[in-house]
A and B are shown apart, each in its own frame.
Chain A
Amino acid sequence: MKSLVEIHNLSAGYGPNLVLQGVNLKIKPSDFIGVIGPNGGGKTTLLKAILGLITPISGTIHFSESMKSGGAHRIGYLPQINNIDRQFPITVFDVVRSGLMSRQRLMGRYSAEENESALHLIEEMGISAIRNNPIGELSGGQVQRALLCRALVNKPALLILDEPNTYVDNRFERELYEKLKVLNEKLAILLVSHDLGTISTYVKSYACVNNSLHFHEGNTVTPELLKSYECPIQIISHGDIPHTVLHQHTH
């Protein structure tokens, strides 16, 4: 299968600090990759590089033709919820429709078709009743849903989610992952999470980012495996999965 995104020997960082070094990763259309790793290990930097928010210091990120659409890449992005100013005077419907904006469309109105697809997503996500409410009146889970609609409304080929489970209730978290599972039938997903236990049921592979990147096919992750990848992450699981906490180790 042809890759949507091919990252080759990527180094990136801020100023003199190289947060990422020699990273290689291929994202295929059916992928559901869990991006894990310690804080400060470069998870966010990797996302920013793929999203085009930072320029790599060296290496390349190649996008396939099917990823390109009118000057932009077909990426849907769900930022961390605390990056959003929830006091901003904007309604749910307008947040969702804003996902359709790009350089090509400076002016004009949304077409009937675009409104229709936005409303359809809102319906699907179960936030129809609050679609005309300002986002300031919403719960964390509802804001996440609205932002997920915004990420999906432009029909992306790759969906990138940055810690979608922070500040969100358990019920929404489960719903979200079930939703992602369905979405994954049509698009590739890159999910950044610190919560290995929960995502392990859903992801198909792991990318452990800790300055370098180690790719692991399959969703079974054992502490030993993480150790061999030099991935100092804690496994804290919920529900029926046994509770494991990885102790500190040096490498």
Chain B
Amino acid sequence: MQSLIALFDFEFFRNAILAAFMASITCGIIGTYIVSRRIVFISGGITHASFGGIGMGYYFGFNPILGAVVFGILSALGIELFTKKADLREDSAIAMLWSLGMAVGVIFIFLTPGYAPNLMSYLFGNILTVSKEDLLYLLFLSLFIIGFFIAFYRMIIFVSFDEEFALTNNAPVKLFNALLISLVALTIVLNIRVVGIILVMSLLTIPQAIANLFTKRFDWMMILSIVFGFLGSILGLALSYIYDIPSGAAIIFTLVILYGVIKISGLLIEKSRQ
């Protein structure tokens, strides 16, 4: 315990806690939107498509996260526009984009001369190496998402719950869909540094699944998802320190255990009441 507290003396550890906190806020809110709207698969597509941007970042020598932002948002808007207009099966289109992004990423990383540093940290994330710059991006995104959801909460719910009805009321459905899917892309990409491409989807869905055990209201689901996301991240971080295992995987593992424990104790309590 002593040694855990002593960790706070290290800047990298304080940064990790801050990253976990902001990851929980962004993923808690955006994840609730994703789960409620049943666009988990779309989000998976955006996540993997953004790998193309990371690969190009390596090859052309710019910040890979910047490349991921561009790829992420373009593929998000692409899915949003094309699956509705073109006569294309939505899930097939997403799968295509999903693998195309990965392929582009792999090709460019292969073409990049020499060794690709930190490649593993994009795939699996490393919360202990997040930079000041990463933190700053996450801070801006957190503040923007909080502000956006507070200001437009009713409209977001209205458009998400029953799109057709919202259209008959002449609500700005297209605008909000585009804005929200862009926020989904940004949240995914900026959290890649924290938990990685392979694991970021779980940060957007497991806290929500836990929250859903307690509430079936959108506002409470957001708040509880943030709480459980942060709890899981901190416990996972401790786990990764104690057993010297990768932080991203430890966080996801902890979240799933947390879900299991709460679900089972809920069932047991229910049974003992009967």
Measured CB to CB, the residues of A under 8 A from B are 51-53, 71-72, 75, 77, 79, 83-85, 88-91, 94-95, 98-99, 101-103, 105-107, 109-110, 134, 136-137, 150, 154
A101 B154 Cβ-Cβ under 8 A: yes
B170 within 8 A of A: yes
A contact patch SS: loop
Measured CB to CB, the closest approach of chain A to B123, in angstroms, equals 32
A79 B165 Cβ-Cβ under 8 A: yes
User: Which of B93-101, B155-163, B187-195 contacts the other chain?
Assistant: B155-163
Give the chain B neighbours of A107 by CB distance below 8 A.
Answer: 151-152, 155
Give the chain A neighbours of B165 by CB distance below 8 A.
Answer: 77, 79, 98, 150
Q: Of residues 170 to 208 in B, which have CB atoms within 8 Å of A's CB atoms?
A: 170-172
Measured CB to CB, the closest approach of chain A to B223, in angstroms, equals 12
Give the chain A neighbours of B36 by CB distance below 8 A.
Answer: 88-89
B contact patch SS: helix
Measured CB to CB, the residues of B under 8 A from A are 32, 36, 38, 151-152, 154-155, 157-158, 160-162, 164-172, 212, 215-218, 221
Task: Give the complex CA separation of A243 and B173 in angstroms.
Answer: 45
B168 A53 Cβ-Cβ under 8 A: yes
Measured CB to CB, the closest approach of chain A to B152, in angstroms, equals 6
Task: Give the complex CA separation of A110 and B157 in angstroms.
Answer: 14
How many inter-chain residue pairs (CB < 8 Å) link A and B?
A: 76
Given the contacts A90-B218, A107-B152, A52 and B172 also touching, CB distance less than 8 Å? no
A89 B168 Cβ-Cβ under 8 A: no
> Which residue in A53, A98, A136, A137 is a CB contact (below 8 Å) of B154?
A98
Give the chain B neighbours of A105 by CB distance below 8 A.
Answer: 155
Known contacts A83-B162, A89-B216, then 15 further A-B pairs from the complex at CB < 8 Å, ordered by chain A residue:
A72-B170, A79-B164, A83-B164, A90-B218, A94-B157, A98-B162, A98-B165, A101-B154, A102-B169, A103-B169, A103-B170, A106-B152, A107-B152, A110-B154, A154-B169
Measured CB to CB, the closest approach of chain B to A161, in angstroms, equals 13
A102 B170 Cβ-Cβ under 8 A: yes
- CB-nearest residue of chain A to B208: A89
Task: Give the complex CA separation of A103 and B176 in angstroms.
Answer: 11
B162 A134 Cβ-Cβ under 8 A: no
Query: Which residue of A53, A77, A101, A154 has the most chain B CB atoms within 10 A of its CB atom?
Result: A101
A98 B217 Cβ-Cβ under 8 A: no
Give the chain A neighbours of B160 by CB distance below 8 A.
Answer: 88
Query: Which residue of B152, B158, B166, B221 has the most chain A CB atoms within 10 A of its CB atom?
Result: B158
For this complex, 13 residue pairs linking A to B, each with C-beta atoms less than 8 Å apart, are: A77-B165, A77-B168, A89-B32, A90-B157, A98-B154, A101-B155, A101-B166, A101-B169, A106-B152, A107-B155, A134-B216, A137-B216, A154-B169
A89 B218 Cβ-Cβ under 8 A: yes
Give the chain A neighbours of B166 by CB distance below 8 A.
Answer: 101
Give the chain B neighbours of A102 by CB distance below 8 A.
Answer: 169-171
Give the chain B neighbours of A75 by CB distance below 8 A.
Answer: 168
B216 A79 Cβ-Cβ under 8 A: no
Give the chain B neighbours of A52 by CB distance below 8 A.
Answer: 167-168, 170
Query: Which residue of B38, B160, B165, B172 has the most chain A CB atoms within 10 A of its CB atom?
Result: B165
- CB-nearest residue of chain A to B221: A89
Give the chain B neighbours of A109 by CB distance below 8 A.
Answer: 154
B164 A101 Cβ-Cβ under 8 A: no
- CB-nearest residue of chain A to B211: A89
> Which residue in B32, B158, B164 is a CB contact (below 8 Å) of A98?
B158
Give the chain A neighbours of B151 by CB distance below 8 A.
Answer: 107
> Which residue in A53, A84, A90 is a CB contact (below 8 Å) of B167?
A53
Give the chain A neighbours of B157 by CB distance below 8 A.
Answer: 90, 94, 98
Measured CB to CB, the closest approach of chain A to B90, in angstroms, equals 16
Nearest first, the 6 closest Cβ-Cβ pairs linking A and B are A134-B216, A72-B170, A101-B158, A51-B168, A89-B218, A98-B158
Give the chain B neighbours of A77 by CB distance below 8 A.
Answer: 165, 168
Given the contacts A72-B169, A101-B169, A101-B171, A91 and B164 also touching, CB distance less than 8 Å? no
Give the chain A neighbours of B162 by CB distance below 8 A.
Answer: 79, 83-84, 98
Measured CB to CB, the closest approach of chain B to A47, in angstroms, equals 10
- CB-nearest residue of chain A to B220: A89
Task: Give the complex CA separation of A209 and B201 in angstroms.
Answer: 47
Measured CB to CB, the closest approach of chain A to B82, in angstroms, equals 17
- CB-nearest residue of chain B to A132: B217
B172 A103 Cβ-Cβ under 8 A: yes
Measured CB to CB, the closest approach of chain A to B170, in angstroms, equals 4
Task: Give the complex CA separation of A174 and B68 in angstroms.
Answer: 57
